[in-house]
Amino acid sequence: MANIHSQKKRILRAERERLENRRYTTKIKTYFRRLEAAVAAGDDATADTEHLELVRTIDKAVKRGALHKNTGARKKSRAARTRAGQPAA
């Protein structure tokens, strides 16, 4: 454990930021699973809304720094391919 006051604050801040990044990445994974389920079920309306929400969340995560911009672009590309009915991998 750190003895310096500013370092203690930095440790707390790093933990807060880690949890926020974790929230973004977890949310993205959840929306991706929902999108895949909607496409598999053939529900176009739900797939459209899930895709839109997924892309918004990815953009926010990239803007906040939770994801690298290339990672965000790759995830959006895979989401678009999944939405079109092609395999994501």
For the chain, give every domain's residue range. 20-84
Distances (CA, A) of 35 to 22, 29, 32, 70, 72: 20, 10, 5, 21, 16
What is the CA angle 53-71-80, rounded to 5?
45
Q: What is the pTM of this model?
A: 0.85
pLDDT on residue 2: 85
- Domain made up of 20-84: CATH architecture: Up-down Bundle (1.20)
User: Which of 85, 86, 89 lies closest to 44, judged by CA?
Assistant: 85
Residues of the chain with pLDDT under 70: 87-89
